[in-house]
């Protein structure tokens, strides 16, 4: 992992077109400003991981026969 | 062509029915091709089966059939990625998580799968809307609370 130290107001540039600015840093909380093309998707890590976990859980095998019957009863 | 499925053995598919997920789905970065087929004639459940990994399949439903208030905006960027021309070409699916009894199944409203049926392009979209839960209980005994 690349580790860089930045002060408030300083930036890093990723791949020519993504700028991350440290806006504020206080009591262990860092506020970041991100300028990136709209095609770049940005998510808070925990939100993304939550979806990942749910997909993995959803992909576990199920009793398909039971599910097919369930649909027909409805 | 024939593919192996998780729950239905080998099935015959048309190559033109393959839906491409250029960005895959979170958790399964290797699988970018899926096919859709219903579980049965009258079943509301639709299988989203990976073409290349037999063991990877999702059970999905169309949330719009159950939840009237479920809506979100298609961003210009998403429209571009999925080559969306009109909303009628879109199929919106929620992935179901089923543990134990089927009645207890939950569906993921936070990250719907959006498919452009015309272009055969799909993507699971993470909605940054806090009011749509990752686990929404579909067949709750209690009065169904409509997400709005």
Domain boundaries, chain B: 2-137
**The CATH classification of domain B2-137, taken from the options 2.30.290.10, 3.40.50.300, 2.60.420.10, 2.70.180.20:** 2.30.290.10
Please return the burial class of A1, using the count of CB atoms within 10 Å of its CB with bins 0-12, 13-18 and 19+: exposed
Distance from C-alpha of B116 to C-alpha of B109, rounded to nearest angstrom = 18
Does residue A39 sit at the B interface (CB-CB below 8 Å)?
Answer: yes
Closest CA to B82 of B39, B120, B109: B120
Distance from C-alpha of B80 to C-alpha of B32, rounded to nearest angstrom = 18
Summarize pLDDT for A13-61 with one digit per residue, the tens: 999 999 999 999 999 999 999 999 988 999 999 999 999 999 999 999 7
State the smallest CA–CA distance between residue A50 and chain B in angstroms. Answer: 8
The minimal CB distance from A51 to the residues B42, B81, B111 is found for B111
Query: Structural domain boundaries of chain A?
Result: 11-69
State the smallest CA–CA distance between residue A33 and chain B in angstroms. Answer: 17
Q: What does the block give as tokens for B30?
A: 């290797």
Does the structure's ipTM exceed the value 0.95?
A: no
Does residue B22 sit at the A interface (CB-CB below 8 Å)?
Answer: no
- Interface probe, candidates A59, A70, A72, A74, chain B, greatest B C-beta count within 10 A: A59
Rg of chain A over Cα atoms, rounded to whole angstroms, equals 21
pLDDT in tens, chain B (148 residues): 999 999 999 999 999 999 999 999 999 999 999 999 999 888 899 999 999 999 999 999 999 999 988 999 999 999 999 999 999 999 999 999 998 888 889 999 999 999 999 999 999 999 977 789 999 998 875 545 555 4
What's the whole-model pTM score?
0.89
Whether residue A5 contacts residue A12, with contact meaning beta carbons closer than 8 Å, is answered with no
Does residue A29 sit at the B interface (CB-CB below 8 Å)?
Answer: no
Please return the burial class of B62, using the count of CB atoms within 10 Å of its CB with bins 0-12, 13-18 and 19+: middle
Cα A65 to chain center, whole Å?
35
Distance from C-alpha of A27 to C-alpha of A20, rounded to nearest angstrom = 20
Which residues of B fall within a CB distance of 8 Å from A52? 26-27
The minimal CB distance from A59 to the residues B56, B102, B126 is found for B56
């Amino acid at each position: 992992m690349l580790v860089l130290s930045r002060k408030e107001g300083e930036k890093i540039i990723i791949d020519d077109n993504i700028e991350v600015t440290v806006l504020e840093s206080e009591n262990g909380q860092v506020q970041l400003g991100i300028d990136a093309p709209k095609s770049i998707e940005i998510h808070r890590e925990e939100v993304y991981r939550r979806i990942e976990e749910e997909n993995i859980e959803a992909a576990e095998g199920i009793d398909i026969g039971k599910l097919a019957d369930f649909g027909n009863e409805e | 062509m024939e593919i192996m499925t998780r729950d239905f053995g080998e099935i015959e598919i048309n190559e033109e029915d393959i839906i491409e997920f250029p960005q895959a789905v979170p958790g399964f970065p290797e699988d970018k091709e899926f096919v859709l087929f219903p579980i049965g004639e009258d079943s509301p459940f639709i299988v989203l089966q990976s073409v290349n990994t037999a063991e990877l399949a999702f059970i999905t439903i169309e949330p719009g059939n159950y939840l009237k208030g479920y809506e979100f905006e298609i961003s210009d960027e998403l429209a571009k990625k999925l080559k969306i021309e009109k909303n009628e070409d879109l199929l919106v699916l929620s992935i179901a998580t089923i543990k134990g009894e089927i009645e207890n199944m939950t569906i993921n409203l936070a990250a719907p799968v959006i498919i452009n049926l015309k272009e055969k392009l799909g993507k699971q979209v993470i909605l940054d809307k806090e009011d749509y839960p990752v686990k929404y209980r579909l067949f709750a005994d209690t009065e169904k609370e409509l997400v709005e």
